Amino acid sequence: MTHKKEELRDLINGIQFNLSPMSDNFVDIILSSLDKVDTSHVWSNTDKVSTLYRGTRKAVWDAVRAVYVQSYKEGVHTSIHMTFSKGCPGDGCDNYKLDVEKEDVNNEESRKIDFDLAGKFSLYPMGSGDYMDLIYDVIEEGKKRDVTREGGDYATKLKGNVHDVFDYLEYVAERSNEDVDHYIMEITLAHNFPEGE
């Protein structure tokens, strides 16, 4: 299949992330988490600062959810920072994998790992003057699903079961995709807080 650049920009989704296990053993935890993920359905690249997956929306979310749950170690406080982006006009459209048969190859394994987390996210719909309506819409849905906490400047606080939160984040991406061509989600999640979740 070949696509024009404009079509590609509407198909390629990217998620960049950094895992930060707050442990002397951080190198092993990061590398073994990345290893456990089936990345055959996304384009993947790890550089000095972060890892990037590019592909279909469902496939990149499936992969990053897998990395995060696979990084779980009893008693180790770990955070992940993720930036999800779609439709950036500056995107070179060079690196991607789109022709995949299955977009949730990691899902079955991921769902076997279960824990609570706390975090926050912000949504940035680009190139439009009335971007706040979409933001208020998705915050409202977060309240209904009981995965958000009250308050917070600049970000919406997240809480609860890891899979409920990822399901909600995927909903935010899907919902934003209906309204805007270019949007970014900035997300921080963490678990095993010294004081509890």
Q: Tell me which residues touch its own copies (CB under 8 A).
A: 14, 16, 18, 20-24, 26-27, 47-50, 52, 54, 77, 79, 81, 83, 85, 88-92, 95, 118-120, 122, 124, 126-129, 131-132, 135-136, 153-155, 157, 184, 186, 188, 190, 193-195
Which helix (H) or strand (E) element contains residue 124?
Answer: strand 116-125
Crossing angle between the packed helical segments 162-179 and 132-145, to the nearest 10 degrees: 150
Nearest to 135 by CA among 195, 176, 186, 169: 176
Q: Which is nearer to its own copies, 24 or 101 (CB)?
A: 24
CB of 68 to its own copies, least distance (A): 14
Q: How far is the CB of 28 from its own copies (least distance, A)?
A: 11
Q: Are 196 and 124 in contact (CB under 8 A)?
A: no
Q: Smallest distance, Å, CB 167 to its own copies?
A: 20
CA proximity to 16, closest of 58, 60, 66: 60
Smallest separation (angstroms) from its own copies to the CB of 23: 6
